[in-house]
Amino acid sequence: MIIGSISEDISIEKRVAITPDIIKKYKSLGLEIHLIKNYANHLGINDKEYEAEGAKIIENEDEVISSSNAILQMSILNQNNLKKLKEKQILIGVLNPYSNEKKIKELISKNIDCFSLELLPRITRAQSMDILSSQANLAGYKAVVDSFAFYQKAIPMMMTAAGTISAAKVLVVGAGVAGLQAIATAKRMGAIVFATDVRIASKEQVESLGGKFLIVEGAENLETEGGYAKETSDDFKKKQEDLLKETLKKIDIVICTALIPGKKAPVIIKKNMIEGMQSGSVIYDLAASQGGNAELTKVNEITNINGVQIMGDSNILNKLPVSASNLYSKNMFNFISNLFNKEKKVFEINLEDEIIEKTKVK
């Protein structure tokens, strides 16, 4: 059986689904690896590194696709390459079925099995495959590093003969994986950190990292069985707005990480709140590609509102593509290992397995 992968459009996505260090593990399962020529050159990884581990480098995209039983990607293939997929092939990646519904329906109608890894269930057995966690962890770290670099003052408190510089105050909106990493990174760099989340269960995690948790009066735990945030009531939103409006007047840097899978990002930082912030403050909105947590976020732009800078990267992990690819390729291998029947040496779609059933796009 053969797994293959072709290049992404690197102007949009620099991460790759297979790194050289994981190929030996695929080979140990009895799988062959076919990759397009110059597959990861943009990451400083040349074809010889892949060949040394046992991958086959092919010059033609069509041949990679036609020869592979399973195609492993970071994101969904372009329309031209999707047309080349054949019956009984498998496509695995972050397919974003809510945005690519039409494309995926066409594939399913051709009897092509599609698996979207962002749909993995939050169960213990799936942790090693959890691409949302591995990638969000890096995103939370990088958002803090970038916003601190952009902020034009020192971050930690400094006592000098000329006077004292106060520590920067950071607010992290959303205390999931990205938010918790943002809190930890900001604390390590000397900031005073506050955080807010609709899930009260997050309070203990935030405080264990040295952050101060902002609780909305009368809040209840708005968490799904899968561990994600639920949409909030109008009453909760009003109380949250009042709390944030006052808090933001004293905040220097805001890191927005709040997302609801498959839906538009909740707008938490409203225009009137931004207008009340201090000039020179920075908002880094990790939810930009899904509409943004800040009302005035623009994708891939830096917006200036009365001296408050709002940063909205569509894919912050393009700034850490090597680290992100290394983690993603390990997540992908663990998923493949679960999908592949090692005795029969075939891919086996067992819908009684919760991991397979939840990630298979229907």
- For the question of residue 50 being annotated catalytic, the response is no
Instruction: Return d(Cα 170, Cα 39) in angstroms, integer.
Output: 39
Catalytic status, residue 122: yes
Residue 15: active-site member? no
Given the residues 133, 205, 289, 325, the one annotated as active site? 133
Catalytic residue among 113, 130, 197, 252: 130
DSSP-based three-state secondary structure for 260: coil
Instruction: Identify the CA nearest to 117 among candidates 273, 327, 345.
Output: 327
Determine the longest span between alpha carbons in the chain, in angstroms: 73
At 71 the three-state DSSP class reads strand
> In sequence order, which residues have a C-beta less than 8 Å from that of residue 45 and are 6 or more positions away?
19, 20, 39
- Edge to edge, what strands does the sheet with 113-116 contain? 56-58, 32-36, 2-5, 70-75, 90-94, 113-116
* Catalytic option among 67, 122, 128, 146: 122
Q: How far apart are CA 294 and CA 312, in angstroms?
A: 9
Q: Active site residue: 146, 228, 278, 353, which one? A: 228
Sequence length of the chain is 362
> From CA 195, how far away is CA 212, in angstroms rounded?
6
Task: Give catalytic status of residue 284 as yes or no.
Answer: no
Three-state secondary structure call for residue 165: strand
Q: Is 75 a catalytic residue?
A: no
Other residues' Cβ atoms within 10 Å of the Cβ of residue 162: 7
Q: What amino acid is encoded at 214 in this protein?
A: L
Q: Which of 28, 127, 166, 233 is catalytic?
A: 127
Cα R_g (the chain), whole angstroms? 22
Q: How far apart are CA 296 and CA 283, in angstroms?
A: 10
State the Cα angle at 273 between 157 and 170, rounded to 5°. 20
Partners of residue 62 on adjacent β-strands: none
Task: Tell me the catalytic residues.
Answer: 122, 127, 130, 133, 228
